[in-house]
Amino acid sequence: MADGPVQLDIQDSVAWLRLDDGKANAISLDVLKAAHEALDQAERDANCVVLLGRPGRFSAGFDLNVMRQGGEATRELVAGGARLGLRLYGFPIPVIAGCTGHALAMGALLLLSTDLRIGVEGEFKLGLNEVAIGMTLPVFGVELARERLSKRHLQRAVASAELYDPAGAVDAGYLDRVVPADALEDVVRKEAAALAALPREAHAGTKLRLRGEVIARAEASLAKPL
C-alpha cells in the first residue's frame, strides 16, 4: 500500500500506518476504507500497529467538504469514523499513535482510541473543537473522552472545546509523552518493539475486559441519530 492517503509498511512484526494526503490529513470515506484495509493486513501479519501523520499534521478531523453537506453524507462519515475509532480502541494487538503535529476533532479522537500516544514538541493544537465549530460531539466521542481524558480537564476539553499545546495535551490525557520531532520515530520504534513482544491473546483478552463496556455503549449509539 505505497500509494494513497494511508500507507502501510510492515517491519519486524510492526505495522506502520502513515496518514498523508499532502494537506491536513482530513478523514474522508476513502481514508476510512484504506485505514480498515491496512488494519486488516496488520491484524494478520503484525504484532503491533503504529499510526503516524505527516510532518506538522496528525489529522485535522473529518473532511469538512462532506461535513458541510449535512444529511446522510455527514451521518455516513461520522459513523464511519466511529467504527474506525472503536476498532482501534478494541484492536487485538497494541496500537501506538505517533502524533506528528496538529490533532483536532476526529484526529484527537484517534489519539483517544490508541493505547500509547507519543507527540512531538512544537506550536501545535490538539483537542476536541466540535462545540467551537457548532457541532455536538457524537456519543462515541464522549465515551472515549470520558475514559481517556483527565477528570480535571474533561468538562473544559469536551463541553468548552479547549485546545491544548503538546505539553498541555499530556496533562489533559490526549498524549502520554512528548519528544522532539526528530526523535519521534526512534522512540516509537523502541516502544513498538516492546509492545509487539506481549503475548497476543493475553493482551487482546485483557483489553476487551477493560474496554468492552465502553465499546458496547458506543456501538449501540450508532443505531440512533448522531
What are 12-45's pLDDT values in tens digits? 999 999 999 999 999 999 999 999 999 999 999 9
Determine the residue type at 1: M
Q: How confident is the model at residue 226 (pLDDT cuts 50, 70, 90)?
A: low
pLDDT of the residue at 128: 98
What pLDDT sits at residue 142?
97
Tens of pLDDT along 77-131?
Answer: 999 999 999 999 999 999 999 999 999 999 999 999 999 999 999 999 999 999 9
Q: Average pLDDT for residues 147-173, to the nearest whole number?
A: 98
Q: What is the pTM of this model?
A: 0.96
Domains of the chain (ranges, CATH numbers): 6-221 (3.90.226.10)
CA distance 116 to 188: 9
Is the separation of the CB atoms in 191 and 183 below 8 Å?
no
Pairing of strands 95-99, 116-120: parallel
pLDDT at 3: 72
Mean pLDDT for the stretch of residues 210-218 = 97
In this model, does residue 1 exceed pLDDT 60? no
Distance from C-alpha of 90 to C-alpha of 97, rounded to nearest angstrom: 14
From 100, 105, 98, select the one nearest 63 (Cα to Cα): 105
Contacts of residue 104, Cβ cutoff 8 Å, sequence gap at least 6: 59, 60, 61, 125, 126, 127, 128, 129, 163
129: amino acid identity, one letter: N
Write the pLDDT tens digit of every residue in 53-84.
999 999 999 998 888 887 898 999 999 999 99
Q: Is 126 exposed, middle or buried (0-12, 13-18, 19+ CB in 10 A)?
A: buried
Where does the pLDDT of residue 9 fall: very low under 50, low under 70, confident under 90, or very high at 90 and above? very high
- One-letter amino acid at 219 equals E
DSSP state of 54: B
What pLDDT does residue 2 have?
56
The answer to whether 46 and 8 are in contact (CB under 8 A) is: no
pLDDT digits (tens, 9 = 90+) for 167-211: 999 999 999 999 999 999 999 999 999 999 999 999 999 999 999
CA distance 115 to 90: 9
* CB contact at 8 A, 9 and 52: no
